[in-house]
Chains A and B, each alone.
Chain A
C-alpha cells in the first residue's frame, strides 16, 4: 500500500475554448493525499478545483503529468474502473429512479447479491438519516435530502476516496452548518478519505485536516488550517484566508527576531517573520491580521509600535472593529475583543483618539510579493 491514496504529479490540464483560445485550468499541480484524510481544495471561482477533481474521478485526462490512486498511475482509466466516487455539486441524482434505486445503482453495477444490496442500502440511508424515504423520487425531496441521497449513493460503494464538489453549495446557511458537522462526523466514522472542494474558506478551515489553496490553476500552499492561516506563504493566501492588512516593503536584513523590512509608506522599519526564501533588497508584502493588531495608549516593549489615530469604530458584539490611520495616511483594520462587559463608552476606542498600534514581530509576516 502506498503512503498516499491520491497523488497528483505535476499535473497540467489545458482546454481549448470555443473562442479558439487555450486555457490552462490546472497548472503544474502536485498533491499528496494521505489515507483517511479530510483534504480540501480551496480557491476562488475558476481556479481549477473542479477540473482537478474531475481528473481524479477520470472524467478528464491530464494534458501532462500523472494522477496516481493508491500508487497506481491512472493514465486513461475510465471513471467506472477507478476506486473513487463523486458527490456532484448538482447532485446528479437519477430522476427516473427512487431513492432506493439511486443508492443501489452502484452496487448493482458491481453485481452485488440482492440481499446484500438491500442490507447495505438500508445501512447507508440510515447513516444519512433518510430511512423511510426509499420509495420517493428525487423530485419529491428537499435540497438537503437530495444532497444526502447523493452522499449515500457514493458512500454505499465504500470507495477508497470520496470526491465532493461543493456539496453544500446549494443549501442555506443554517443547513450548511449542520451538514458540515454531519459530514465531518461521518468522515471520521467511516474512515474514508474525503477530497472536498469549496470556495468557502471558513468551511475549509473548520472541516479539513489539510487544505490546498489554489489560484489560477496553481496550488499555492498545502498545510493544516493553522499553518494556512498563521503562516500563509504568499500574499494571495494571506488575503484569501481570513483578513489581513498589507504594507508594501523592502527586505533589509535578517536578525535574531526574524527580519527587518523598510516600509516607505510608514517611514519606518518593521521586524517580522520571513516566509519562504527572501533576499535582502527584495520587494515584499508585509501582513498582519486585524485581530493581532494591539491598540494601546503606550508603545509596548519589544513591539513594532506605530503612532496612529482612530478613524472609525464598529461594535459587533464579540468584537469591536477599529479602523486606524497610521503615519503617512496608511489605514489598517484592528479587531479588539470585548473582554469586559460594560456600557462605559470610554472602555471602547473613540474616533479621533490618538493611539499606538503595537505590531508584535511574531504577528508580522513578511511574504514574497506576487
Chain B
C-alpha cells in the first residue's frame, strides 16, 4: 500500500549491518526451533541435524497431554478475551463519554496492570484468591488473564472513542435512537475494528502467558506451562519444538491481523 521511500536513499553500511545483526539476533532462535522440530535426534541437539523427519508431528498429535494443554489454553484465552471485550468496552465508554471527578485517576488505574510486572499481579491475585478461599481452577486462570486482557481492549477502544467524539452519538439520540440502538448502529461500527484488534491482541497475550498463570493455576497446565514442564523432563525433545511452532502460529497470526487493523484505521 505504501510507496517505498525515495529511491537511492539507502542506509550507510554500518547501520545496515547493525540492523541485520539485530534482526538475526531476534529471529535465529525461532529458526532453530523450526529446524529442530524436524531433527531425527531424540534427546540432544547437534548442528547440523543428522537428518530430517516429520515423525515428531505425528507423535505430538498422538499425545493426549498436549491436546489437553492446548484445549485449556484456547478456552482460557477465549473466555478471558470475551470478558475483556465486554468489560474493556464498558470501561472505555465510561471514561470517554462522561466527565466525572477522578476520571484521570480511573484511567490510570485501568492501565496499571499492564505496567505492573506479571509477578506482582501474580502474587497479588494468588493472595486474593487464597484469602477468598476460592479453589484454584480453570476460572482462577481466566480471572488472572482477564486482568491484562481488559487493559488491552480498554486501551484500544478508549483511543478510538476519543477520536470518534460525541457529536454523532448526540445526532443518533436526536434522531430517535435509544442508548442501545445508538451503540448498535453508530458506536459499534466505529469501534468494531478497535475491538477486533484489541481482542486479538488480548487472545495472543493470554495464550502464551506463563507468569500470572503459574500463580493462579491449580493442577492444570496451559500450553506454555506444559512446554516448560517438558523442558525440565525431556522426553521426545523435538515434540516441544513442534508445539512451539503451534504456539507461534496461534499467537502470531492474530497479532499480525491486529496490527493491520489498527494501521488501517489510523490512516
Contact = CB atoms under 8 A, between A and B. Distances in A.
B177 interface: yes
Interface residues of B, number: 16
Most buried by A among B167, B173, B176, B177: B176
B177 to A, nearest CB: 5
B168 to A, nearest CB: 5
Contacts, number: 56
B167 A105 contact: no
A80 B190 contact: no
Interface string B163-207: 000011011111111100100011001100000000000000000
A106 B176 contact: yes
A92 B176 contact: no
Interface stretch (A82-90, A180-188, A224-232, A322-330): A82-90
A94 interface: yes
Contacts of B189: 96
A255 interface: no
A79 B168 contact: no
Nearest to A103: B175
Contacts of B178: 78, 80
Contact of B175 (A59, A95, A157): A157
A19 interface: no
A57 interface: yes
B190 A92 contact: no
Contact of B170 (A92, A105, A106): A92
Contacts of B186: 94
A1 interface: no
Interface string A64-98: 00000000000000111000011010101111100
Given A153-B175, A157-B176, A90 B167 contact: yes
Interface in A103-154: 105-106, 109-110, 153-154
A79 B167 contact: no
Given A95-B168, A96-B190, A105-B185, A85 B177 contact: no
Query: How many of chain A's residues touch chain B, expressed as a range?
Result: 20 to 34
B177 A80 contact: yes
Contacts of B170: 59, 79, 86, 88, 92
A109 B167 CA distance: 18
Contacts of A85: 174-175
Given A94-B186, A105-B185, A88 B167 contact: yes
Contact of A92 (B171, B177, B185): B171
Contacts of A90: 167
Nearest to B171: A92
Interface in B114-166: none
Contacts of A94: 168, 171-172, 186
Contacts of B177: 80, 105, 109
A105 B172 contact: yes
A80 B176 contact: yes
A9 to B, nearest CB: 23
A148 to B, nearest CB: 15
Given A88-B167, A90-B167, A95-B168, A57 B175 contact: no
Interface string A254-295: 000000000000000000000000000000000000000000
A110 B170 CA distance: 17
Given A94-B186, A96-B189, A110 B171 contact: no
Interface in B64-85: none
B190 A110 contact: no
A153 B176 CA distance: 12
Nearest to A78: B173
A110 B176 contact: yes
* Nearest 7 Cβ contacts at the A-B interface: A106-B175, A109-B176, A92-B167, A92-B171, A79-B173, A109-B177, A86-B174
Interface of A: 57-59, 78-80, 85-86, 88, 90, 92-96, 105-106, 109-110, 153-154, 157
Interface of B: 167-168, 170-178, 181, 185-186, 189-190
